[in-house]
Chain A
Amino acid sequence: MSDTSTYKKILEKYESKRENLVTAFQDIQEAEGFISPEAIAEVSKYFDISRADAYSVVSFYAQFKFSKPGKHTIKVCKGTACHVRGSGNLLSALEERLGIKEGETTSDGLVSLERVACLGACALAPAMVVDEKVYGRVTLAELDKILKGLK
């Protein structure tokens, strides 16, 4: 968790106006990886709004996360092509093996699991991305190999 000076440094760049709220939160997420209750408290103080109000803005956008992401992020594509090629099974297999639900992070902080709409790799369906690397036509056997490789 950052101390308040980190937030101050980020917030100083912005005039305390409501229209700067989202970009300020984007900067904080960039620095910390997620939006913490402390960040909400500092930002609402800076912009002179209530915490509920700040949270309302942040929680509206899917881009903001509220828990610290894992060391690795697995994004499973649930676009049309991947869906048809069984990405649902892929996702539930991942959920089962990792013991977490989509949108969560393993308790050891190693892996976060996400669902995305389309990776634009329809020809490779079902596809998933681990950190920056794309895996196509993933099978359950391959999945186990990929998971083993994460350290």
Chain B
Amino acid sequence: MNTFKLTIDGVVVEAEQGMTVLQAAKRAGLFIPSLCAHDELSPYGACRLCVVEIDGIRGTPTSCTTPAAEGMVVRTNTEQLQTQRRRTIELMMSGHPSPCFSCDSREDCEVEKSTPTKAGIATRCGACSNRPGCELRGVAMGNFTRDIDLPLLYSIDKIERDDPFIDKDHNLCILCGRCFRTCEKIHDKPAISIANRGKKAKISVEFGKAWSSEECRFCGTCVDECPTGCLTDRWGKWFGVQDSLVESVCTLCPNHCKLMLKVKQGKIIGAKMLALKKENAICALGKFGIAQIVNSPRRISRMQVKVGSEQIPSSFEDAVAKIKSLFEESAGGKLVISSRDAYVETRRGLRALAKKYGADFVELAGNAESLDAQTLSKIENGEYETVLVLGNWLSAEAASKIKHLIVADFAKSAAQKFADVVLPLSIVGETSATVAGADGKPLGCAKASEPALDRRATFEYLNAVIGDFSGGDFELESLAKDFASPALDKKNLPNKFLGHYLSDFAPDLLKLGLKKSPEAAEIENSKNGFEILEKKMLVPNFHSIKISAPDAAKYVKPGQFAILMANANSERSPFTIIDWDAKEGWIEFIVEEVGRSSSELGSLKKGDRIAVMSGPLGTPVDLENFAPGSSALLLGGCYGIGAIYSIARALKEKGVKTTCAIEASTSYMLYFKDKLAAVADKLIVKTRDGTEGTKGGCSDVLAEIGANFDSIIAIGCVFMMKKCAESAPKDDSKTQLCALNPIMVDGTGMCGACRVNVGGETKFACVEGPFFPLLKVDFKELGKRRTAYKLLEIEAMPRHIGGRCHS
């Protein structure tokens, strides 16, 4: 390789022929900020951050597109370049949801909230899944002041959440072109490109259609290469950056593509291509499906053996002994059902098992519709006394005809309740085993994650039942030949894995044309619960939902809440009541999207039904403490803006002089200004970035004028209330309250999940709260308790467009 020398910032560095100035700098360990540049992609020169000065070259060329040359003298960090970069970032930020950047409490807040809020829409860094790994943030932090002197161009219209697996928020896009350059590199003809120009330019398919209707295969590689949170993996994004990448094999279809599994804290959280090369292309199932299937709540994890008529959790030894005795002692017909989806070791083992006990042997293609008619009729006629089935191939009816049934499976199935033995299986990435490679040769699959609880590979059970079967007669065939690759065309995606409909685990696959299981279709048709009379998105991630609840509406008092569940499988979560009408029989809630349950509620529409509403709950605000003619200061942040409304209205009716102060991250997150102005004597507006009202938050209001009021109520996130407690007048004679929102289950004081520490005493927020003395709450403990289920909350995130998830 020919090398030559050039000077960068006074340092003489060596570069190779064909390198750009940026690459030469990088090679020498010198840093030039850049976003659109990517080692594997062609130079593009879009982001204008890597600008440099070069002697003899006019202006400030981009170092990513300028070839390095012998004797060049380059400067990368002059005052002019710094100013230029700052301006460039400011321009990017003016369309970006940037309030966290401008906020003076950013550092404190990010210590408190170490992971971003799992909001539906990234309205700021604190609600953006990409915060931990954001390249824009990284570059901007080093080149930025907090002030942006440009108008906000944020628009809710730039958010697209209708495509499977991928959320798109063009507010965050910096048009670096990495996504379509990646697409072009892997698929030759890019399925996406930049449509329109200027202010309207955006990454898109033709005519702004849904990507699923077009050439996009949903390999999701563009998501991996996006330097901002514009393109994200809807479900997996909240796990953040992986701890490690493990090279393994996707076994969900016979193509057996090699890929990288993303692992975090021992869990498989996603997958990506082995390398940015055409031959390593993967499909939607590999990219998004694996993690959703492996972490699905439909998985089974306990070995069960029937004792009498009950299945009880058992040990490995008991399960093995039971299988042995069933096969050995059975006098009637025996059958072993295998699946071509299984590992080579398993398929060999099942053949050996059938041979040893003289059982019939059937092996189905993984994507098969059902068992063959002949075998089915034999089962239905009761000709088989003992059956071992790998996967979901037996209906409840067929299973009920079998005297002794052994089910090996990775997920729940209808047949399992009839089984004498249930064996939970480890699958993709949880098993170290062999499959047939595309060339027909054995291909080793590495284990990336330790299988949870009792899960094991089928061959591990079989080894214990029949001993060593490695010499068994089994010839490896290449399956890829009769199976077109879904990496090339999404029409080739398989419907099933081990007899299970894949859309049950990753419902977005339905949008790519996969079949729906009969079970899922049934759930969809059920209609129960409380009808939604009105549903509005007040600002991104914040919804008001009005439901018909004539019985409950009679009893609501200001400050109360209710437990809501979007559907029968949702988690129980408390939501604040903002309005109600006993005569008309409705209750209105404020719902902030922060996780699965709230996203599910947020995705409902007028006319839909909420499965559960239990309430009103909690002790209402004691209005006796607010004397007519006295003065009150109500502070509301985020959802608290909605929460203080009913209290402000009640105080006005009582003749209390009320001042409301509301705080939001930025102007586009403010709501209820008119409603609050109508019921308050004075309304103070604060934004963290100063784009409306004055810059700052409720705690600043308290510090400035808090002492002038007889009573104070603060409602908002834990951080906001903690800040308020710090700046509140240290005067115990005043009524100073906050409303706490810990994790709750029943909401009636039974479970104890909502315990909070108030002045050294343990209180239950659901019955004794939600209102407690602001100065006495242990906010640190509250914050800790609220994040106790952080990882589980991410796993539970909806796997479905719009969050209506039944899995």
Task: Contact check, B191 vs A50: say whether CB atoms are below 8 A apart.
Answer: yes
Asked if A80 CB lies within 8 Å of chain B CBs, one says no
Residues B197 and A52 in contact, CB atoms below 8 Å apart: no
Is the CB–CB distance between A56 and B189 below 8 Å? no
Nearest CB on B from A104, distance (A): 15
Q: Is B748 an interface residue (CB 8 A)?
A: no
**B193 partner residues in chain A, CB cutoff 8 A:** 50, 52-53, 55-56
Q: Across the interface, name the chain B residue whose C-beta is closest to A57.
A: B193
List the B side residues contacting A60 at CB < 8 Å: 196-197
Query: A37 at interface (Cβ–Cβ under 8 A)?
Result: yes
Contact yes or no, B190 A53, CB < 8 A: yes
Known: A37-B206, A37-B207. A53 touches B189 (CB 8 A): yes
C-alpha spacing A54/B215, complex, angstroms: 13
The SS class assigned to the B binding surface is loop
Inter-chain contacts of B194 with A (CB < 8 A): 56
* Interfacial chain B residues near A51, Cβ < 8 Å: 205-206, 214-215
B81 to chain A, nearest CB (A): 29
User: Contact at A50–B196, with CB atoms within 8 Å?
Assistant: no
Across the interface, do A52 and B196 meet the contact criterion of CB distance under 8 Å? no
- Write out the residue numbers on chain A whose beta carbons fall within 8 Å of the beta carbon of B207: 37, 40, 55, 66
Known interface pairs A40-B206, A55-B206, A66-B207; A50-B195 also in contact (CB < 8 Å): no
List residues 185-202 of chain B with CB under 8 A from any CB of chain A. 189-197
Q: How far is the CA of A51 from the CA of B191 in the complex (A)?
A: 7
Q: B489 to nearest A CB, angstroms?
A: 14
Query: Inside 8 A of B206's CB, which chain A residues have their CB?
Result: 37, 40, 51-52, 54-55
- Give the chain B neighbours of A56 by CB distance below 8 A: 193-195
Residue on A nearest B192 in the bound complex, by CB: A52
Complex interface: chain B residues within 8 A of A50 (CB) = 189-191, 193, 215
Does any Cβ of B come within 8 Å of A107's Cβ? Answer: no
Cα separation A48 to B214 with both chains bound (whole Å):
16
How distant is A37 from chain B, measured CB to nearest CB, in Å? Answer: 6
Min CB distance B566 to A, Å, is 35
Taking the complex as formed, is A59 at the interface, i.e. its CB lies under 8 A from any CB of chain B? yes
Pick from A49, A55, A66: contact of B205, CB under 8 Å: A55
User: How far apart sit A50 and B187, CA to CA, in the bound complex (Å)?
Assistant: 10
Q: Mark B78-107, 1 if CB is under 8 A from A, else 0.
A: 000000000000000000000000000000
CB neighbours of A66 from chain B (8 A): 207
Q: Do A59 and B195 touch (CB < 8 A)?
A: yes
Shortest beta-carbon distance from A140 to chain B in Å: 31
The reply on B115 being an interface residue by CB < 8 A is no
Segment 25-56 of A: residues with Cβ below 8 Å from B:
37, 40, 48-56
Docked complex Cα distance between A50 and B215 (Å): 8
A31 vs chain B, min Cβ distance (A)? 20
The reply to whether B195 and A55 form a contact with Cβ atoms under 8 Å apart is: yes
Closest to B203 in A: A52
Alpha-carbon distance A126/B207, docked complex (angstroms): 34
Q: Could you list 11 examples of A-B contacts with CB < 8 Å? A: A37-B206, A40-B206, A50-B190, A50-B193, A50-B215, A52-B190, A55-B205, A55-B206, A55-B207, A56-B193, A59-B195
